[in-house]
């Protein structure tokens, strides 16, 4: 995912621009196909656009899958500038205003290092929200989903239909849940000696 000029060289065979996926952080996505590119896929931000470079031979379905993968990778890279507790509280306030008309008002929002089996937790009686440090570095839309999930618990304690209706307004709920399920599944894979250069 280099942004150096070498990855921009060459005339693309086909270039398409589309509106951004919700929450991608860019105003447009441009896909550039290149006959010279054989297997690699890369992406970079160019002003208010995200440019994704793919081999010309890829199908439309592969293109869409790789665009989503690269958007997630760019978002993860950009979110490595980890929010501190105060920024996390500000983000929670923004999300509450945007999705819950400001009704969810936590008294505290902070990162914790003692949640290894949960992504977040909420104590409605105290109004406190805690997010696992394992979320740090994940795409912004995933952190936002977990924050919204915990904010929703300030309004509805359980996981009944009323609770899930609150989260229907967030367009990336299913994608974020899928991302987190993928992380959990990857953690459960058996360790293979010799993998990844060990």
At residue 81, the pLDDT reads: 57
Kindly state the tokens that stand for 89.
């509280």
At residue 17, the pLDDT reads: 47
Question: Which segments within the chain are labelled E, that is strand?
Answer: 14-18, 28-34, 42-46, 49-55, 108-112, 120-123, 128-132
Own/partner pairs for 101-105, CB < 8 Å, 24+ apart? 103/155, 104/151, 104/152, 104/154, 104/155, 105/154
d(CA 2, CA 45): 10
First to last CA, the chain: 24
Domain ranges in the chain are 28-80, 85-187
**Three-state DSSP state, 7:** helix
DSSP track, 131-146 = EEGGGTTS-HHHHHHH
Contacts of 52 (CB under 8 A, 6+ apart): 29, 30, 31, 32, 41, 42, 43, 66, 67, 70
pTM of the model: 0.58
Residue with tokens 């290149």: 34
The low-confidence residues of the chain, meaning pLDDT below 50, are 1-15, 17-26, 195-198
| CATH no. for 85-187 | 3.30.2010.10
At residue 6, the pLDDT reads: 29
At residue 197, the pLDDT reads: 44
């Amino acid at each position: 995912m280099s942004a150096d000029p070498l990855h921009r060289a060459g005339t693309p065979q086909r270039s398409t621009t589309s509106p951004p996926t919700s929450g991608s952080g860019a105003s447009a996505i441009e896909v550039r196909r290149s006959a010279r590119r054989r297997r690699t896929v890369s992406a970079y931000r160019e002003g208010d656009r995200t440019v994704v470079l793919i081999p010309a031979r890829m199908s439309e379905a592969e293109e869409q899958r790789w665009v989503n993968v690269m958007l997630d990778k760019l978002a993860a890279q950009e979110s490595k500038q980890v929010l501190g507790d105060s920024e996390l509280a500000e983000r929670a306030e923004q999300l509450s205003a945007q999705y819950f008309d400001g009704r969810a008002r936590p008294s505290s929002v902070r990162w914790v290092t003692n949640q290894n089996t949960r992504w977040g937790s909420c104590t409605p009686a105290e109004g406190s929200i805690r997010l696992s440090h394992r979320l740090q570095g994940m795409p912004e839309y995933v952190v936002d989903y977990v924050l919204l999930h915990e904010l929703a618990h300030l309004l509805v304690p359980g996981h009944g239909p009323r609770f899930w209706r609150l989260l229907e307004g967030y367009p990336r709920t299913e994608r974020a849940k899928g991302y987190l399920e993928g992380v959990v599944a990857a953690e459960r894979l058996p360790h293979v000696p010799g993998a990844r250069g060990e």
